[in-house]
Amino acid sequence: MSADELERRYRRLLAIYPWEHRRAYEEEMLAVLLADARPGQTRPSVGDAVNLLGAGLRARLRVGARGFTEPAWADAAAVTGVLVALVLVAAAGWSLVDQAVPGPLLPPPVRPGGPDQVDWLRVGGWAAVLVAALVGLRRVAAGLAWAGVAAWVVLVGSSVTGQSAYVIDTLPQFALALLAAGALTLPAPSRRALRLLGRRGLAAFTLAAVLPVGVLAASRLGHPTADPADVNPWYSFHGLYARSPVMIVLFLAVLGLAAVAVLFGLAALAPRVRWRLVVLLSPVAALTLLIDTPLAGEVVDALGLYTIPLVVTRWAALLLVPAMTFLAGVVLLRHREATRRVVLGRTADRKDSTT
């Protein structure tokens, strides 16, 4: 009875090793450990426990480091670089529209004076990154993307002390630029992203990026005016404005179509690339949610009359939450794939034992 209990506890410790290692060596290691056990021993010794845990963790780290060199991560990075550049082109395009057609309800002191050279440069720069990545000029695309990161640091990062609210508001775009630059820097075959996406997948993602910008621009054109003489009714729904409820429904339908296009584009990708794409984008999503929820209202008031200083804990959250989200995504992805390998491995073992 004591031998069975000791065996179960040793197996629990051996579970720290990667499945491939356990499949090859678990029974041999267990036999050695049980042979060295004292008569009547029911628990692993402290020395054995420490050695097994340490060696198991080192083995998992080695496997984890090798995991990022898998072709699937390189493929996911190639796709990520193209899609993030596409999103940044759309974001820069909306910023251009926002500057050219400001909201009529904004008071004159805070209305933008129209797009400047930086606004046009953002659109042209990220469009050049996208085109270069699609045609296979990855080094050119990566260089332009890193130039965009550097431009953010120079133009926006310098305002971190005086205009912290503005800096935090642009952090998601900076995170996207950093992600695009890093993804495009990784080596990959020429036009690999285009082959993985396919023409239909690329068209779907392009449609998903363009449609929201079109909806926002159309809503801005139908925005109510600040003229007291304007007595025509208008309707709003979460930032969308229109002169009739039918237009609001139409706007929502178009946004729904954009969401369907994203799902179609994701479905066109191989599962090994699709899930890694989600993991790579998850830190940006977490950062956006963090800014829009806990930090909302704590940085700057609606009219920008005052700014509450950001304490160290908030800056730490802005850095740690995306990092922890990425690590959690990697762990969940590897657990999912390891579970599938275990199931397939055990199925293969059963087939071998019956033949």
Instruction: Please check whether residues 168 and 256 belong to one and the same domain.
Output: yes
Separation between Cα atoms, residue 104 and residue 165, nearest integer Å: 23
| Domain membership flag for residue 338 | no
Q: What is the dihedral of CA 282, 287, 291, 293, to 10 degrees?
A: 40
Q: Tell me how far CA of residue 195 lies from CA of 93, 208, 309, in angstroms.
A: 26, 19, 47
Residue type, 234: W
Instruction: Please check whether residues 249 and 166 belong to one and the same domain.
Output: yes
- Between 158 and 174, name the one with better pLDDT: 174
Q: Average pLDDT, stretch 229-255?
A: 78
| Domain membership flag for residue 162 | yes
Q: What is the DSSP letter of 303?
A: T
Give me 315's structure tokens.
């800056």
Separation between Cα atoms, residue 40 and residue 168, nearest integer Å: 62
Instruction: Please check whether residues 157 and 261 belong to one and the same domain.
Output: yes
User: Which of 65-69, 91-95, 114-118, 263-267 has maximum average pLDDT?
Assistant: 263-267
Separation between Cα atoms, residue 232 and residue 223, nearest integer Å: 12
Instruction: Please check whether residues 218 and 93 belong to one and the same domain.
Output: yes
Instruction: Please check whether residues 98 and 232 belong to one and the same domain.
Output: yes
Q: What count of Cα atoms within 13 Å lies in the side-chain half-sphere of residue 29? A: 18
- Between 189 and 60, name the one with better pLDDT: 189
- Between 317 and 133, name the one with better pLDDT: 133
Q: How far is CA 249 from the centre of its chain?
A: 30
Q: Please state the domain count of the chain.
A: 2
Instruction: Please check whether residues 110 and 6 belong to one and the same domain.
Output: no
| Domain membership flag for residue 310 | no
Instruction: Please check whether residues 254 and 139 belong to one and the same domain.
Output: yes
Separation between Cα atoms, residue 324 and residue 247, nearest integer Å: 41
Q: Average pLDDT, stretch 213-221?
A: 84
Instruction: Please check whether residues 175 and 45 belong to one and the same domain.
Output: no
Binning pLDDT at 50, 70 and 90, where does residue 207 land? very high
Separation between Cα atoms, residue 21 and residue 17, nearest integer Å: 6
Q: What count of Cα atoms within 13 Å lies in the side-chain half-sphere of residue 134? A: 16
Domain stop point among 64, 93, 112: 64
Contact between 11 and 49 under an 8 Å Cβ cutoff? The reply is no
User: Residue for token digits 């996406």?
Assistant: 197
Instruction: Please check whether residues 260 and 203 belong to one and the same domain.
Output: yes
Quick one: which of 162, 156, 174, 186 has its CA closest to 77? 186
Instruction: Please check whether residues 58 and 79 belong to one and the same domain.
Output: no
What angle do the packed helices 71-100 and 117-135 form, to 10 degrees? 150
Separation between Cα atoms, residue 88 and residue 131, nearest integer Å: 13
Instruction: Give the other-Cβ count within 10 Å of 144's Cβ.
Output: 24
Separation between Cα atoms, residue 314 and residue 291, nearest integer Å: 10
Contact between 99 and 115 under an 8 Å Cβ cutoff? The reply is yes
Residue 163: what pLDDT? 67
pLDDT at position 332 over 80: yes
Contact between 193 and 134 under an 8 Å Cβ cutoff? The reply is yes
Instruction: Please check whether residues 34 and 82 belong to one and the same domain.
Output: no
| Domain membership flag for residue 301 | no
Residue 298: what pLDDT? 47
Instruction: Please check whether residues 53 and 188 belong to one and the same domain.
Output: no
| Domain membership flag for residue 174 | yes
| Domain membership flag for residue 295 | no
Contact between 265 and 80 under an 8 Å Cβ cutoff? The reply is no
Residue 354: what pLDDT? 52
| Domain membership flag for residue 288 | no
Separation between Cα atoms, residue 155 and residue 146, nearest integer Å: 14
| Domain membership flag for residue 293 | no
Domain coverage including residue 232: 73-276
Summarised one tens digit per residue, pLDDT across range 42-74 is 888 888 888 888 887 777 766 655 555 578 888
In the chain, % helix, strand, coil (3-state, to 5) comes to 75, 0, 25
Report pTM. 0.72
Domain stop point among 276, 307, 322: 276
Domain stop point among 231, 254, 276: 276
* Phi, psi at 224, each rounded to 5°: -65, 150
Q: Tell me how far CA of residue 183 lies from CA of 76, 84, 87, 131, 231, in angstroms.
A: 8, 9, 14, 15, 52
Q: Which of 26-30, 65-69, 94-98 has the lowest mean pLDDT?
A: 65-69
Summarised one tens digit per residue, pLDDT across range 273-323 is 999 999 999 999 998 888 877 554 444 444 444 444 555 677 788 888 898
pLDDT at position 232 over 70: no
